[in-house]
Amino acid sequence: MSTVERSGVDVARAVNAREISAREVTDATLGQIDAVDERLGAYLTRLHDMARAAADRVDARIAGGEKLAMAGVPVAVKDNMCLAGTRTTCGSKILENWIAPYTGTAVQRILDAGGIPVGKSNMDEFAMGSSCENSALLQTRNPLDLSRVPGGSSGGSAAAVSAHLAAVGLGSDTGGSIREPGAFCGVVGFKPTYGRVSRYGLIAFASSLDQIGPLTRTVEDAALAYDVMAGYDPMDSTSIDRPLEPTFSALRDDLRGKRIGIVKEFETGKLGAAIDAVYKQAYRDLEKLGAELIEVSLPTADYGLATYYLIAPAECSSNLARFDGVRYGLRVEGNDVGEMYEATRAAGFGPEVKRRILIGTYALSSGYYDAYYVKAQKVRTLIGDDFKKAFATCDLIACPAASSPAFVSGAKSDPYSMYLMDYYTIPMSLAGLPALSVPCGSVSVEGKSVPMGLQLCAPIFAERELLSAAHAYEKATMHYKNNKLDVSLHRAPTGNLV
């Protein structure tokens, strides 16, 4: 197995044991990035000098007797997270040349634990999208099939992890932006409970929904990264001040005694025979591991999409008002301040961002606020209540992670069909619940094997139970090992551990 194919857990173990240096791991990863990323487009900014300097510091700390949880682990940082001294663009022309003056809390905790930042990864502009096609700066492709999208909005991080250009990718999930690209790229995508990981240093899209989480090739790596990032942060007013339960040390190999809810309203038969077969088999596999399958109902989940596309755009309209050409980012001159605002935003924002700002501004406007925004918040409460009722009879919920496998670039040109991609992930986001996508098999599309993701969801703060169940399923099925990179990437291993 080449160095770049090692899991994050294995890299940290080897670096801590001084079997290999963090610098060697970093050089191998940077070599892999240089070899394939021109064709993949996972990174907007490569951080070769910063990565090598960080690796040398890690090696010095190890030599001094320290043990670091993520020693030498290569990390892709989604480009809506501040990392001091790096270009932080949100995939938008309005921030194309903005340099972050500080490092966000979640990123800093990864660095403090020995993680190595190898690049800033591409994304849908301001995290608004489900395919990574909305980036204004670069097109990212799916490493398993370059004709297909990697999912969004954290498509760059998912693609980087899948293609061995990082062991851990940091993503943000507002309505499914970690879980869906995880499913599309055949990796694990984990969204923690809202407030469990600090959002300080995350450029906001929808503040009541945004949450940082990891994308990894294994559940073990997701647990490792989560344990490092999670925890209270006084710099984030939405951060939860509650003791953490370590997850990595609690991973288990079976599901005996667990009750897993299968949502009555999420009938997979309507997704097509091949997809239905994948999910039916996944549910049987959960049962074989000792879980009891229980039918549960989420009667308001069908309203999740409409609810989300009122609340999220409303919050985006408010958050993106700061990008005015005055304080930072792009500035296009005009005859007066009003013209300057209009010209800057017209040139700096892409079509999807403009669309959501308009929707949100309309929903918040006088005469429509109660009819749209307030009503959507009431439905959000009902969705949360439905989950509470469901979890009274089960420990976890299993359902699809996306409405389809990864689709060909350009196949979903109308906004509505793209919004439907998040049908299964949005209800969990509205309720603030922890959820993840884990590879669960594949379907054949035009003769090519395209991966699917199983979504598992738990009550708030039940990350330990969620990751433990996902690990048991992953270990029993090992679907992620069936992922084959597109041959046109011409991946060449860059080194081996001995």
What is the DSSP pairing of strand 435-445 with strand 188-191?
Answer: antiparallel
Cα separations in angstroms, 336 against 322, 340, 341, 343, 345: 18, 6, 9, 11, 14
**What is the rounded distance in angstroms from the CA atom of residue 222 to the CA atom of residue 43?**
21
Query: Is 375 annotated in the active site?
Result: no
Query: Is 78 annotated in the active site?
Result: yes
Q: Which entry of 21, 78, 239, 442 is annotated as an active-site residue? A: 78
Torsion angle of the four alpha carbons 45, 46, 52, 58, in this order, in degrees rounded to the nearest 10: 60
Q: Which entry of 121, 131, 135, 153 is annotated as an active-site residue? A: 153
Token pair of 210 as six digits: 């945004």
What is the residue whose two structure tokens read 């669309």?
355
Query: Is 437 annotated in the active site?
Result: no
Query: Which residues in 259-294 are b (16+ Cβ under 10 Å) and which e?
Result: ebbbbeebebeebeeebbebbeebbebbeebebebe
Nearest residue to 426 (alpha-carbon basis) of 262, 295, 261, 307: 307
Query: Strands across the sheet with 396-400, in order?
Result: 43-46, 116-121, 74-78, 168-173, 211-216, 188-191, 435-445, 448-457, 396-400, 259-263, 292-296
**What is the rounded distance in angstroms from the CA atom of residue 34 to the CA atom of residue 42?**
11
Q: Which entry of 130, 154, 172, 177 is annotated as an active-site residue? A: 177
Q: Active-site residue numbers?
A: 78, 153, 177
